[in-house]
Amino acid sequence: MKALAFLFVIVLLINLMPAFAPPTWMAMSWVGFNFHESNMLLVAAVAASAATAGRLTLAAFSRSLVRRRWLREADRQNIDVVSAWLGKHRKKTAGAFLVYALSPFPSNYLFIAYGLSGLPLGFVGAAFFAGRMISYTIWARLGRLASSFVDPEALFEGQYLGVGFVLSQLALLGLVYALMKLDWKLLLEKRKLKWRRPVGHADRNDAGPVGS
């Protein structure tokens, strides 16, 4: 039980990190390498619960702090266009979270972006838990299988905070920023991509010459 509690805390802390967090799949593979007698389904359930709790907390933080305090009103209105679309397609949204949770890709930016929408978190949390439960079980079993052939220290050495990892994290941060600056009304209604101009920019361009 102590090992499971420790795993829960570690996975929770990893999934609370908004950026540059080590991939949880590495932790699950490590469990498979080192705890051959463990019930992998139970381990995956504990890890998936911790990951879901961490990500939902991150999304709630994004909603309460970033959306309500840091975003300008124009940015909130732009994001609300996406929120209305997502609210009408809840099954598709949950399905997207489920499929994404099956992948080894980082999900912190996904939940930060979703938190900005202000939509309820419960149904995407359930889909994410289901996906992580499946993927963590697979990673743990793969780790157990590979432990017979591979040195775990050699496998994981240099995997975290490498140049590729850092660049990918910076790219995803840029993606979240870009998603906030897209003109979502134009994209959803007319299928056209357009970068939103800063507040007041259009007014200055539309104004006639001084003194005219």
CA pseudo-torsion sign 162, 164, 165, 166? positive
Query: Rounded distance, CA 129 to CA 111, Å?
Result: 13
Q: Model confidence at 106, in pLDDT bands (50, 70, 90)? A: confident
Predicted confidence at residue 133, as pLDDT, reads 93
**pLDDT tens figures, 107-154:** 888 999 899 888 889 999 999 999 999 998 887 777 667 555 555 454
Q: pTM of this prediction?
A: 0.74
Cα–chain-centroid distance for residue 13?
14
- Tell me the sheet residues that pair with 195: 182
Decide if 12 contacts 55 (C-beta within 8 A).
no
**pLDDT tens figures, 148-193:** 555 545 444 555 556 666 676 777 777 777 877 888 888 888 887 7
Residue with tokens 């539309």: 206
Close Cβ partners of 27 (under 8 Å, ≥ 6 residues apart): 7, 10, 11, 14, 47
Burial class, 62, CB count within 10 angstroms (exposed 0-12 / middle 13-18 / buried 19+): buried
Per DSSP, the residues of 73-124 read: HHHHHHHHHHHHHHHH-HHHHHHHHHHHHTSSS--HHHHHHHHHHT--SHHH
Decide if 97 contacts 55 (C-beta within 8 A).
no
